[in-house]
Structure 1
Amino acid sequence: MSDDKSTAGNMLDAAKAKINEGADRLREAGHNAAHAVTGDAHHKAEALEDRAKAELHNREANAEYNEGKREATDGDGK
């Protein structure tokens, strides 16, 4: 976000981050299911890691979206 992107660029980055968040949450669910079946603590650790990644991507998406919204309303369109 430190570079000066257009509104569309920010919105595209927000969408990418949301897709990554969804993928992380699916992996988390898979690891939780594997942990429930096998009881292997390794799966639980991987689920926690994927949850942390998902939260990071969620924060990134929100920040990019908010920046894009600011760019759209500041009048210059860039």
Structure 2
Amino acid sequence: MPEHVSTLQLAGAAVLTLAGVVWAVGVMRLLRRFRAEAVRELPAVRLPLLPSQPKSGPPRESVELSPAERDAFAGLVRRLGDR
């Protein structure tokens, strides 16, 4: 026990420390309880302004290239591949 600290100060520090630990434990229990309740209610929460999401993407689009366009594209790919 330090010489310059009275017994009353040590007891006060111990009481404050104990109160802080009890407060922290209480807050943690409250947070866990409310988080568990929020997780249970989560599927019921819906945003009415957002449209429902489509189940699949848009249809695929494709374009047939002429032989000249295919050659030009192949040349572009070769030129970009050389960099």
TM-score, normalised via structure 2 length: 0.44
Higher relative contact order (CA 8 A, sep 6+): 1
Question: Which entry has the higher C-alpha Rg, 1 or 2?
Answer: 2
Q: Higher helix share goes to which structure? A: 1
TM-score, normalised via structure 1 length: 0.47
